[in-house]
Chain A
Amino acid sequence: MTDEMIMEAVKHGELQQASLLFERYNKRIFNFLARMTMDRDLAEDLTQNVFLRIIKYRTSYREGARFQSWIYQVARNIFSDHYQANKNKFSDFVDVEKISDYMPDSDESELWGEREKLLHKSMAKLGDEQRELLILTRFQQMKYEEVALIMDTTVANIKVKVHRAIAKLREHYFELEKI
């Protein structure tokens, strides 16, 4: 059964089917939000909110729409809403030492070495959009076409932005390596 078929069923009142979507997307959405927020506990809360919002606004799911794009759009909105609501708690200054508090999901944790720490510190120095693009296209290996759908833009635009984000990440990574 495809994601879209399940979501259609949920939309028409078969709420128990949502657990299948949760099983399929929970980990991916959590990893996306964990890398965006760099806070595991917060990411767990936000992931839960994503699924609650999907249930709450199930009737707004458009027939034929790709479910993966839709759920990532919801996740982006949840992140954005949280960021806006807590704007005064955020600062342009990133305390890179605190970034190491973030631990990736268990499958990845064995790889949490010095290189991974350096990578996360470098990621933290990127703007939200650049970080998001790298999370989606590199860590989650999403195709540019899919990311273009999620971000409602063109593939060419995504490619340009991803390349700029990689170039910027390289700069931060090797600056931090010198410290």
Chain B
Amino acid sequence: MEKEKLENLLIDYIDGKLTEAERYTVDQELIANEESYRMYEQLKEVMQAMQPHG
């Protein structure tokens, strides 16, 4: 999957803004691709760090 598209999907995934079908697509990507999973973990960390009490 193209990097920017994946980033967009992952950000919405972490924000809980994806449809069920989109979530399934992301889940499959995270299971299949270690690099994508690493990106997910890193995005989640910075997004949580920006939460007011994160």
Interface residues of A (CB under 8 A from B): 108, 111, 115-116, 119, 122, 134, 138-141, 163, 166-167, 169-170, 173-174
- Contacts A173-B42, A174-B42 hold; do A166 and B47 have CB atoms under 8 A apart? yes
Please state if A166 and B46 are interface contacts (CB–CB under 8 Å): yes
**Smallest CB–CB gap between B44 and chain A, Å?**
10
Contact flags B2-17 to A (C-beta < 8 A → 1, else 0):
0010011001000000
Count class of interface residues, chain B: 10 to 19
Most chain B C-beta atoms within 10 Å of own C-beta, residue among A119, A134, A138: A138
Q: How far is the CA of A169 from the CA of B52 in the complex (A)?
A: 17
Q: How far is the CA of A174 from the CA of B41 in the complex (A)?
A: 11
B15-54 contacts to A (CB < 8 Å): 39, 42-43, 45-47, 49-53
Q: How far is the CA of A163 from the CA of B10 in the complex (A)?
A: 10
- Contacts A166-B11, A166-B43, A167-B7 hold; do A139 and B50 have CB atoms under 8 A apart? yes
- Can you name 14 extra interface pairs (CB under 8 A) apart from A167-B43, A169-B46? A108-B52, A111-B53, A122-B46, A138-B51, A139-B52, A163-B8, A166-B7, A166-B46, A166-B47, A167-B4, A167-B11, A170-B42, A170-B43, A173-B46
Nearest 6 pairs between A and B by C-beta?
A: A138-B50, A167-B7, A119-B49, A173-B46, A170-B46, A170-B42
